[in-house]
Amino acid sequence: MALTDLKVRNTKPTDKQQKLFDERGLYLLVTPAGGKWWRLKYRFGGKEKSLSMGVFPDVTLKEARERRDAARKLLANGVDPGIERKVRRAGAAERAANSFEAVAREWFAKYKPGWAKSHADKIMGRLEKDVFPWLGGRPIAEIAAPEVLAVLRRVEARGALDTAHRVHQNCGQVFRYAIATGRAARDVSADLRGALPAASHTHFPSVTEPSEVAELLRAIDGFKGTFVVQCALRLAPLLFVRPGELRTAKWAQFDLDKAQWRYTVSKTKTEHLVPLATQAVVILRELHALTGRWQFVFPGRDPKKPMSGAAVNAALRRMGFDTKTEITGHGFRAMARTILHEHLRFPSEVIEHQLAHKVPDALGTAYNRTKFIYDRIKMMQAWADYLDALKSGAELVPIDTLSRTA
């Protein structure tokens, strides 16, 4: 007799397995542990076989019968339903391995070691928030340009146009990696060039007028916070490195006798050399007496860790400066770049090398830590002297660096 829902539900386990048969090969296997498994008994190629139809109550009697009927249709067409299921599962596993998310995470893992942590976190944050929910499960080879555009439009609609452009860029990188690894034939994101309005980039606020720089420098000298933060503030305009590189500086990287600081640039992973003006060496020697026994030049509350990334900006706000419109720790770089070129007349390529920017030359070298080193040594000392003169209120005129360094 055919099974009923009541019979299936009320059957209790015993110390032996039970088989409750329905119709056309379907039966319920009840285990001593209480499990109830739907099975289909069938013959194919002269052999008796069994195929799982699911577990009760997740799969009801009605659903089990529907699965049985689908399997019997395959048998009628000369297809073994057990083999067909294995093929289908293998295909699903392959599609999952070649999904956009799987390829993106593989690409990310490959290139992450060469990125700064903050950069890597931003990339994965964008993918997880703005891409994976819609494209993550799709086989990357089957994704079409309109699907990517829909993702970009969602980001644009919330007013994050710059983020939308970055998402577009990251999607292109994933597609090109998929092409290189044989998972896709083309980069469909390339079809979307011009689909988004151009983003208007905003720069870190900075002070670039000499009179305002003088005011800022005098305010730094009057800072009433900790000596460590005060030294970081005094060194920030002298060195104009990236804020994260300044706060994580280690004493082992410095040779104060040679007036040099050598470290690896966080953004490009290239070696960089910062010539130290005499004023910077004086500040560092003072600070070494306090923090020299620690690893970091600017230790935080836990001296085994560097000071907070918010410390310099917080100090600027305490001094009355608006870090959204006037100056930030990063703004010292723009200050130096502008004044060194416009007022001290140093060549832009010398300044760019000191800023640790990639500056391709005629030989194709993207970056050379010792390029223009003698010019950079002179420039760093001239810059420190200029800042001292500004702070003291001296009237300054542009320097003809070309004749001075000839």
State pLDDT tens for residues 203-260: 567 778 888 899 899 999 988 889 999 999 999 999 999 999 999 999 999 999 999 9
> Does the pLDDT at position 396 exceed 70?
no
Task: Please tell me the distance from the alpha carbon of residue 127 to that of residue 167, in angstroms, as a whole number.
Answer: 7
Active-site residue, 333 included: yes
Q: Among the options 168, 367, 376, 386, which is catalytic?
A: 367
205 within domain boundaries: no
57 and 180 in a single domain? The answer is no
Active-site residue, 242 included: yes
29 and 132 in a single domain? The answer is no
335 within domain boundaries: yes
CB 57 within 8 A of CB 67: no
Q: How many domains does the chain have?
A: 3
- Tokens, residue 282: 């004086």
> Does the pLDDT at position 120 exceed 80?
yes
115 and 90 in a single domain? The answer is no
Query: 44 forms bridges with which residues in the sheet?
Result: 47
Task: Please tell me the distance from the alpha carbon of residue 72 to that of residue 81, in angstroms, as a whole number.
Answer: 8
Q: Among the options 267, 345, 371, 391, which is catalytic?
A: 267
109 and 89 in a single domain? The answer is no
Q: Among the options 36, 67, 68, 242, which is catalytic?
A: 242
Task: Please tell me the distance from the alpha carbon of residue 202 to that of residue 271, in angstroms, as a whole number.
Answer: 28
364 confidence band (pLDDT: 50, 70, 90): very low
Give the DSSP letter of residue 29: E
pLDDT of residue 403: 40
Active-site residue, 165 included: no
116 within domain boundaries: yes
pLDDT of residue 363: 44
398 confidence band (pLDDT: 50, 70, 90): low
pLDDT of residue 402: 39
Q: Among the options 330, 337, 353, 376, which is catalytic?
A: 330
The domain that holds 180 is classified in CATH as 1.10.150.130
For residue 223, which of 311, 330, 293, 303 has the smallest C-alpha distance? 311
271 and 314 in a single domain? The answer is yes
The domain that holds 334 is classified in CATH as 1.10.443.10
State pTM to two decimals.
0.54
83 and 216 in a single domain? The answer is no
Active-site residue, 288 included: no
pLDDT of residue 203: 58
Q: What is the mean pLDDT of residues 80-103?
A: 78
pLDDT of residue 68: 92
CB 346 within 8 A of CB 401: yes
For residue 114, which of 267, 272, 271, 273 has the smallest C-alpha distance? 267
DSSP letter string over 93-123?
HHHHHTBHHHHHHHHHHHHGGGS-HHHHHHH
92 and 109 in a single domain? The answer is no
54 within domain boundaries: yes
Query: What is the extent of the structural domain holding 152?
Result: 100-192
CB 239 within 8 A of CB 284: no
Q: Among the options 272, 333, 353, 376, which is catalytic?
A: 333
CB 300 within 8 A of CB 220: no
pLDDT of residue 395: 60
Q: Among the options 24, 112, 357, 378, which is catalytic?
A: 357
60 and 155 in a single domain? The answer is no
Active-site residue, 68 included: no
Q: What is the mean pLDDT of residues 41-63?
A: 90
User: Which of 77, 96, 115 is the C-terminal boundary of a domain?
Assistant: 96
End-to-end CA distance of the chain: 106
- Compute CA distances 227 → 130, 223, 230, whole Å: 43, 9, 5
60 and 83 in a single domain? The answer is yes
User: Which of 57, 72, 96 is the C-terminal boundary of a domain?
Assistant: 96
- Compute CA distances 50 → 26, 32, 53, 74, 81, whole Å: 10, 20, 10, 14, 10
204 within domain boundaries: no
Q: Is 59 helix (H, G, I), strand (E, B) or coil?
A: coil
C-alpha of 369 from chain center: 26
Element (H, E) at 158: none
Least confident of 193-202, 282-291, 301-310: 193-202
DSSP letter string over 292-308?
TTSSBSSB-SSTTSBPP
84 and 160 in a single domain? The answer is no
Q: Is 289 helix (H, G, I), strand (E, B) or coil?
A: helix
290 confidence band (pLDDT: 50, 70, 90): very high
Task: Please tell me the distance from the alpha carbon of residue 307 to that of residue 312, in angstroms, as a whole number.
Answer: 9
pLDDT of residue 164: 92
Task: Please tell me the distance from the alpha carbon of residue 265 to that of residue 358, in angstroms, as a whole number.
Answer: 11
344 within domain boundaries: yes
Active-site residue, 201 included: no
Q: Which amino acid is at 58?
A: D
Mean pLDDT across the chain, nearest whole number? 88
